[in-house]
Amino acid sequence: MFSRRFDMGVKVGGAVIGTVAAAVFLVVYFGVRNDVADVGYRPQQPVPFSHKLHAGDLQIHCQYCHAGVEVSAHSPVPSTQTCMNCHTLVKSESPKLKLVRESYETGSPIEWVRIHKVPDYAHFNHSRHIRAQIDCKSCHGPIEEMGVVSQYKSLTMGWCLDCHRNPETRIVGARPISGIFTGVLHDPKTFMSDSAAVFRPIAAQVGESRSLTVPAYGGWETDLPKHHVDGIPHPKKASLGPDNCSTCHY
């Protein structure tokens, strides 16, 4: 009934339309779904934890709960023991903390819902960025202002490369609330000749170290040093981050 040319046109047209439809579906599916890469993804957590209260109002440093992030490739989720360090006494009977108390008594971890995630084929090392004095806010946004945490940045490859290529315009310098070390280390030779040096605070780059308690029990704080580059504290200087494939894909 139809010519060979017409049949071929129908087949090619159908293939083109199908390919375009598949491409549109994939773009919409992976570009719009919150649990894939969408900024603003904010799942419901099993326990109503407020970062605004803990980090904002109470000024609890990020690394108190996310301990070890400066040495670990992955940011650890706080254990129930960390929560109970305070809540054994603070609001110990609150109904909002029922699941926390049950987790503590049974040893079963709380199943927190992960928010920030890069694809499995891409490797992001938290410790390298923390040790470079890059503040948590650079990627996670103003967490201390969030009652409920949501994804603040896209975490896409393009976004990472933009930061590596233009760090001075995107990096937030280390802030006290994050608990990121910004001082100077003791001279290793000092420990060999003076064992008492272990118990003395690290010298501040600006001003003097101050004890957090009176009398002093080992906790010290110092003023942040002056920035050489706006947004990046001394001694870290603005420089291009690696952008070769093997940096993240290996």
Give the residue from 152, 149, 151 showing the smallest Cα distance to 47.
149
Contact present, 182 and 133 (Cβ < 8 Å): yes
Going by C-beta distance under 8 Å and a sequence separation of 6 or more, which residues neighbour residue 162?
A: 170
Sorted by where each begins, the domain ranges of the chain are: 188-221
User: Which pLDDT score, from 0 to 100, does residue 204 have?
Assistant: 39
Chain centroid to Cα 121, Å, comes to 18
Return per-residue pLDDT of the chain as tens, 250 residues.
Answer: 667 776 777 778 888 898 999 988 877 776 655 445 578 888 999 999 999 999 999 999 998 999 888 888 888 899 999 999 999 999 989 999 999 999 999 999 999 999 998 888 999 999 888 887 888 999 999 999 999 999 999 888 888 988 888 887 888 888 888 887 665 454 555 544 554 444 444 443 444 566 666 776 555 665 655 555 555 555 445 456 777 888 888 7
